[in-house]
Amino acid sequence: MLVVSNIKADPTNVLNCDQTRQDILALLLKPYGIEIEFVPAEKEIQGSFFGEREAGIIGNKLYLRYDTPVHSALHEACHYICMDPQRRAKLDTDAEGDYAEENGVCYLQILLADHLPEVGKSRMMIDMDRWGYTFRLGSAKAWFDGDAEDARDWLIEHNIIDSNLQPTWHNRLK
């Protein structure tokens, strides 16, 4: 999945986690046991692997500021959802997933975006490209539409999505 992109990154033009989006994310992620923790603008985001505005995750707490991109919030939440229970129990900043899990995370974040008003799959994929995610086929959309069968199958195998590509609202069990 992640390799090289020919899309020009523009991290200034992505949807961020304003108060309304944080409230909606809290509802969306509640079935997974994920709780949103607001971080004031002048504070560093705890549990952020990449720092800056990127979301942080420690245990079941997802740390967000108003300038945190929605794609980053969903990506970290999807790591929590997709990891096995042993890693989830000790999660602090680094999800430590393998290649297959990382693909599943990216696929799931695109699917979950359809459950966020004014976001959706298309905007999620655009924001992923703008931020600089890189895909073999050149864009998130090309990957999702034409090269993500392994990610989809992995999510189905772990009962994270069903055969209709809908979330089961369950975390990975093993």
pLDDT at 6 over 60: no
Question: Does residue 132 contact residue 9 with C-beta atoms inside 8 Å?
Answer: yes
| pLDDT tens per residue, range 33-45 | 999 999 999 999 9
Retrieve residue 140's tokens.
Answer: 């998130």
Range of the domain at 103: 19-157
Q: How many domains does the chain have?
A: 1
33 belongs to a structural domain: yes
State the average pLDDT over residues 4-13.
56
User: What pLDDT is attached to residue 26?
Assistant: 98
Buried b (16+ CB within 10 A) or exposed e, 128-161: bbbbebbbebebbbbbbeeebeebbebbbebebb
66 belongs to a structural domain: yes
95 belongs to a structural domain: yes
118 belongs to a structural domain: yes
User: What pLDDT is attached to residue 10?
Assistant: 66
pTM: 0.92
| pLDDT tens per residue, range 78-96 | 999 999 999 999 999 999 9
State the average pLDDT over residues 100-110.
97
State the average pLDDT over residues 50-77.
96
State the average pLDDT over residues 57-77.
98
7 belongs to a structural domain: no
50 belongs to a structural domain: yes
Helix (H) or strand (E) holding 165: none
173 belongs to a structural domain: no
13 belongs to a structural domain: no
**How would residue 11 be classed by pLDDT, with cut points 50, 70 and 90?**
low
